[in-house]
């Protein structure tokens, strides 16, 4: 899977699977390689996003639960931050703490302001299109799909957007969604350069990840064991051909 300039990628899953965590994991890996991510979060506050990022960057040094509850030793955390964060490019976090609408035009203005190397959007269905007048959800998502693709191309920046999936069977929320199950509109499947779909059984730490579309060529799926609280991959399990 490539995350290249001018490309729009989609992380697709049903609710409560771990797509936000995986998107932040992508952002953390980009940061570790010297890139500056910008995270647009419409679900979490800036404080919540920051704690998740610190947990992932800590690579098991502390847990998200402990950090969020303030049960991390201040001096140890400061020493860790001094060693691991000082002099590195900043994360830029844009949240809707004020309740304002988030549109592709507003994201473009933030890109112009902060000059990030990659943009993560969490998540598509909570955005507003540039017209701001679409009453129909299908029309709105169709508009957003094209607007985000044009944004990625015009800004020459990779954009990764999280999207919710609609199950064919309302009782099946554990399988990996298919390409046509993007909530409200299939247009995003056409406009995107790659779509990575995720599935996870209830109370399991095993994620299945499947590339449903990839214009760069590689297709396939695999399982990975993760520790969401520690923010780490435990193991990449045997891929499925």
> Is residue 192, in this structure, part of any structural domain at all?
yes
> Is residue 3, in this structure, part of any structural domain at all?
no
Tell me the average pLDDT of the chain. Answer: 87
Q: What's the angle, vertex CA 60, arms to CA 54 and CA 65, rounded to 5?
A: 65
- For 199-232, the pLDDT digits (tens) are 998 888 888 999 999 987 777 888 888 898 988 8
> Is residue 2, in this structure, part of any structural domain at all?
no
> Is residue 189, in this structure, part of any structural domain at all?
yes
* DSSP conformation class of 216: T
Q: Distance between CA 205 and CA 196 in Å, rounded?
A: 18
> Is residue 241, in this structure, part of any structural domain at all?
no
Find the CATH number of the domain harbouring 141: 3.40.50.300
- Across the range 139-156, mean pLDDT stands at 93
- Across the range 41-51, mean pLDDT stands at 91
Q: Distance between CA 212 and CA 85 in Å, rounded?
A: 35
Q: Which domain holds residue 53?
A: 8-236
- For 9-30, the pLDDT digits (tens) are 999 998 888 889 999 999 999 9
Q: For the chain, how many structural domains are there in total?
A: 1
pTM recorded for the entire structure? 0.88
């Amino acid at each position: 899977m490539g995350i290249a300039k001018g490309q729009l990628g989609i992380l697709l899953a049903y609710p409560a699977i771990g797509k936000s965590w995986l998107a932040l994991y992508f952002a953390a890996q980009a940061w570790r390689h010297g890139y500056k991510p910008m995270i647009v979060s419409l679900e979490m506050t800036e404080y919540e996003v920051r704690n998740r990022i610190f947990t992932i960057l800590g690579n098991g040094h502390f847990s998200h639960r402990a950090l969020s509850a303030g049960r991390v030793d201040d001096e140890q955390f400061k020493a860790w931050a001094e060693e691991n964060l000082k002099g590195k490019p900043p994360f830029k976090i844009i949240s809707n703490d004020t309740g304002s609408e988030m549109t592709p035009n507003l994201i473009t203005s933030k890109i112009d302001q902060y000059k990030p190397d990659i943009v993560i959007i969490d998540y598509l269905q909570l955005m507003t299109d540039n017209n701001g007048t679409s009453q129909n959800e299908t029309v709105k998502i169709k508009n957003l799909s094209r607007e985000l693709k044009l944004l990625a191309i015009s800004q020459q920046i990779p954009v990764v957007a999280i999207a919710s999936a609609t199950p064919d069977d309302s009782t099946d929320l554990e399988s990996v969604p298919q390409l046509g199950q993007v909530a409200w509109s299939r247009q995003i499947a056409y406009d995107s350069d790659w779509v990575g779909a995720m599935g996870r059984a209830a109370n399991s730490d095993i994620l299945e990840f499947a590339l449903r579309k990839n214009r760069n060529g590689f297709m396939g799926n695999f399982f990975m064991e993760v520790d969401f609280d520690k923010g780490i991959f435990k193991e990449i399990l045997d891929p499925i051909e």
